[in-house]
Amino acid sequence: MMAPGDPSSLIPEIALLLGAVTGLLLGAWTPRRRQWIVRGLAAVAAGVGLAATAVAANRPPDVVFGTYVLDTATHATRAIVLVALLLLLALCGDTVAGHRRETEFVVLLQLGALGSMLLGGAADLILLFAAFLLASVPLYALTGWSKQGTAPEAALKYYLAGALAGVVTAAGVTLLFAVSGATGYDALAAELTRGPAAVASVGLVAVLAGLAFKAGAVPAHFWVPDVSDGTPPAVAAVVTTLPKIGAVVAMARLLEAAIPPVVVDWPLLVAVLAALSMTVGNLAAFAQTSVLRLLGYSTVSQVGYLLMGVAVAGRTGRAEPALLFYLAAYAVTNVAAFAVAAATGRRTLAGHRGLARRDPVLAVALVVALLGLVGTPPTAVFLGKLTVFSAAVDGGFAWLAVLAAVNTVASLFYYLRWVAPVFRDPVDDADTAVMRTRGWARDTAIGAAALSVLLGVAGGVVLTAFGSVT
């Protein structure tokens, strides 16, 4: 057992914070052409965090400072965020290399990742709200980082929606504190049953609204397609991947540990949100011709599948391993899809016509990513969907699993709308050189797609680790 306030238990978080602060200072004194050093420093910080996470995962569950839980969910959140951060650092290479604000991009990316990690481990409403802000504010600035095209408009929409979500979340935290007189999850679980259930219900819905905003779930999803389509693909990959990881884990932890179902029937509430997210996201993606907007709606639908695991949290032992594995699978596969868009530099479905002839390896990576998002074996998302479907049935939501299966089949249509032109003959070869100059994005797409397949093949080992460390 570690000391309650032992800072060594927070090495992954401290490494990211030091990497961001040191990188900011280093970038201020480094010539523009050498600011890749800041990206290298961020990668080292992520590597240190991964090593520390591997060591910490072998220790028994613990709570530090009375507010931050170190258990399987937190270790998994750390690992998924840090692996995603490494992929995103590689993906952004073409976008930020030599840019006069390269350092700022990397620092904001690290701080957003730190906020997501803190969301996943928070066991106190105050820490949850602080992590919400840390996972939000840096990403608002990152969305407007390029200052080109529709990026300022996307940043403004994201900020305004985030400001509203932050206010609603703060109001929810206040109401839950007013009912229970406590902010720690353990005390909340004991005290909420003694207060007025109606007020507790309103407070919980308000907090869930904020977390739904971070996850990109219905009804707080309206910013997702605009931000995905209005920013560079590297930025879109960040805002649709990193905050989602922490928000979904935070939602599951809050509901399971702090909200007794006798006070609020939150399993049904989350199941309805899951059904709406996957259905609305899929239906809206059908008619999209912009690949980034299509991927934006795709992320909304993917949250619906993730929320299936949240809805049955505590009802079945399969819920947590399924949710964590799906998060890992989604993170690498989503980054792979956005990386292909970044590598080609094309924003429309038609713009990818002939990609298989121009760059067969990148075309394969795209097919793996898109079929992976559908849930086709042997990709990781296939195993992730299989496990959350099983958990939903085991937890008493068979109807939700049936609806998710129908949505999965329906989603095949719009993913194939992107795959089909890839294997058609190119209209001309004039853009071939453009596609092959984005080396960082291309390598990231291929690496992330390979990781998605590898994670699917080795899924049994990973699922065992997620389910046996607790």
**DSSP annotation string for 367-396:** HHHHHHHHT-TTSHHHHHHHHHHHHHHHTT
What is the per-residue pLDDT across 46-85, written as a single tens digit (0 to 9) for each? Answer: 999 999 999 999 888 999 988 999 999 999 999 999 999 9
Using only C-alpha atoms, the chain has a radius of gyration, in whole angstroms, of 21
Residue at 199 is within a domain:
no
Residue 25, pLDDT above cutoff 90: yes
- Tally of structural domains, the chain: 1
Is 97 inside any structural domain?
Answer: no
With b for 16 or more beta-carbon neighbours within 10 A and e for fewer, the 215-237 pattern comes to bbbbebbebbbbbbbbbbbbbbb
Whether 176 is covered by a domain: the verdict is no
Separation of alpha carbons 421 and 354, rounded Å: 7
DSSP 8-state class, residue 426: P
Look up the domain containing 432 and give its range. 272-469
pTM of the model: 0.94
Task: Give the pLDDT confidence of 400-457 residue by residue, as tens digits.
Answer: 999 999 999 999 999 999 999 999 887 765 555 445 556 889 999 999 999 999 999 9
How far is the C-alpha of 407 from the C-alpha of 348, rounded, in Å? 24
For 136, the token pair is 């939000």
The answer as to whether 48 is a domain residue is no
Tell me if 399 is assigned to some domain.
yes
Report yes or no on 449 lying in a domain: yes
307 domain residue, yes or no = yes
Instruction: Name residue, tokens 């960082």.
Output: 440
In a domain, 235, yes or no: no
